[in-house]
Structure 1
Amino acid sequence: MAHNDWLASNKTAFYEQVSSTVTYLSDELTRKRMGIEGAHTWLNTNFFAKYQAFKTAYEAWLNPVTRTRLLTSVLDDSIDALVPNYREVYTGLLKNNPLVTDFDLISMGFPKRSKVDHHPNPAPVTIPEFELSVSGPRTIRVDFHDRGAENHAKPHGVHGVNLGWAILDSPPEKWTELTNSAFDTKTPYHFSFDGDSKGKTLYIALRWENTTGQKGPWSDIQSIVIS
């Protein structure tokens, strides 16, 4: 494996790097301090699980007795599956998060921030909460607010909410399966569908977006049947 950025360039260094990140983010109090506890479902499903598959293949690959071409191929595939999610952990949850210090980043195997990484209006770090309801024939209403907020005011510096959505036959395993996008600056948001959508399931996740287009972490995915 070879990379020109912050990712380690060989298997052993990559294993040590990503293991440091997993150990750091496995601590619940650390996640809460960083304001990313709401992303634990995504971390468990898309990052920690893929790390375990990589770890199993890597530890078997270390043994010369079991290091076959097939096992090397399995290890390479596990790295390819892990890397996109590892990048998302860094860029989506940590890099522009003002609650994450340079010490945190270095401890997790990431580079510390350069001066150009500091923004007057940093990326959002909180996660929207939302409720889904049927407001009319084939019309879905999305009421959203900041997690823990007592009113509908958006977090400081936030322009609006980015809604990822898709109509699917089975629950999505990751946010990238929500291939459609919508945006709104004020709650509620309404989806209107045609007659062919009746009885189908709509899956939705939300994240805040600031005035410069930077996006915060995704919420958990919710679903509702279109009626």
Structure 2
Amino acid sequence: MADYIPGPDANFQAWQSNFVTYANANLAALGLTAADMAPVTAAQSTWATAFPAHVAAVAAAKAAKQTKDEARAAYVAVIRPLVRRLQAAPQVSDAEKASLGITVAQTPGPIGPPTTAPICTIECGNRLQQVLRFVDSATPTRKAKPQGAIGVEIWNKVGTAPPAGEADLRFVAVDTNSPYVMNFDSTDGGKTNYVWMRWVSPTGERGPWGEQAQATIAA
């Protein structure tokens, strides 16, 4: 059941004023005496001082916050141009910038070659087509490439015997997202597609080869 006394102060102010006024005007009908109302009237007097003081304090706080916000915005507006000068000044060291508490530009280090290898699986559902899927050997349950790799280099050999080494391979593509779809000529039907993969960095540095994957090309 809802409380008969309103929660918001403004609503309570109107309610209590009506309550006390009506009760004092109808003491006999309500079975009350002035003594019954004395503590209520005393508490009302305290409230009558406290509530307006609170309203005034809230209004003052809002005004003070507005003044504070405007002062901060003006303060920051003159700080930022000075900081931009300091950050661009060659004579200001990173240590001095750190002491000032301003941003110190980070110099990126070399990425380096990938250190892990891709794992390739081949799907052969369609005629003269294979779907190559790849994941990283360090995170085989995730699709994400390893850090520092832009994509995977795909090399292959189509024939009846596996490649003896890199010299037997043909470059296919660099693929940035699995899967990669390979299409074949009709003359390749029934032959085996041998696939080698390795990760490559944005600067062209290559990681180690993954395990060879192979599958017969559906004719």
TM-score, normalising length: structure 2: 0.48
Report which of the two structures shows the higher radius of gyration computed on alpha carbons. Answer: 2
